[in-house]
Structure 1
Amino acid sequence: MPIIKPFMASRKFSGTIGAGTGIGATFAIAATALTDDTGALATAFPGSFAYYVLYINGQPQNANISTLTTTTITIPGGDVLDPLTPVIVEVVVN
């Protein structure tokens, strides 16, 4: 019997650090402050996913740098970055 690979796809969300609010450990960016793959404002991050990758200024970040919920991505200490620093969240769904 052949092995059937599970369905995998990704959803990308982009914006800048300046879209975030809070300071220190509470700094977060709302999903609704980012644009999705179509260029429209996102409504939420996927509720069920295999994993996600956070890119800050084009550099992938370690998994322990952030936390993702359907409404926000929390990036502790992100408030110290320049507001125009690009942020991309790639969420892999299956």
Structure 2
Amino acid sequence: MPIVKPFMASRKFTSTIEAGTGTGPTFAIAATAFTDDTGAAATAFPSSFAYYVLYLNAQIQTADTSTITTTTLTIPGGDVLDPATPVFVEMVVN
């Protein structure tokens, strides 16, 4: 059984679909296009996290909707969404 770290906190990031680039399966939004929960421009997503939750237009998305790295949130097919669609990522870090 894996060891569970005792400390948990969350980091929140917000942007819009219009900040993304690419089409189809390569549509992605750079971490630097997000603001963090303090209102500052993000430089990167956390490198170590337990899980993350993606919200598009305030709707929780399933795990197969996206992938995330320290530099990029990839949303395959996200380019078909309205450019003003809000993108919100909550990462639970430990």
TM-score by length of 1: 0.94
Partners of 2:74 and 2:54 in 1: CA distance: 10
1:45 aligns with 2:45: yes
Letter in 2 for 1:42: A
Matching of residues 6-85 of structure 1 within 5 Å: 6-85=6-85
| Runs of 4+ displaced beyond 3 Å | none
Taking only the aligned residue pairs, the percentage that are identical comes to 79
Larger Rg: 1
1:91 aligns with 2:91: yes
TM-score by length of 2: 0.94
Partners of 1:17 and 1:56 in 2: CA distance: 9
**How far apart are 1:6 and its partner, in Å?**
1.2
Partners of 2:45 and 2:58 in 1: CA distance: 20
Give the secondary-structure state (helix, strand or coil) at the position aligned to 1:18: helix
- Please provide the CA RMSD for this pair: 0.9
Partners of 1:80 and 1:41 in 2: CA distance: 25
Where do 5+ consecutive residues of structure 2 fail to align? none
Partners of 1:51 and 1:43 in 2: CA distance: 19
Partners of 2:6 and 2:59 in 1: CA distance: 28
Partners of 2:29 and 2:59 in 1: CA distance: 18
Letter in 1 for 2:46: P
Partners of 2:29 and 2:40 in 1: CA distance: 16
**How far apart are 1:28 and its partner, in Å?**
0.2
Give the secondary-structure state (helix, strand or coil) at the position aligned to 1:83: coil
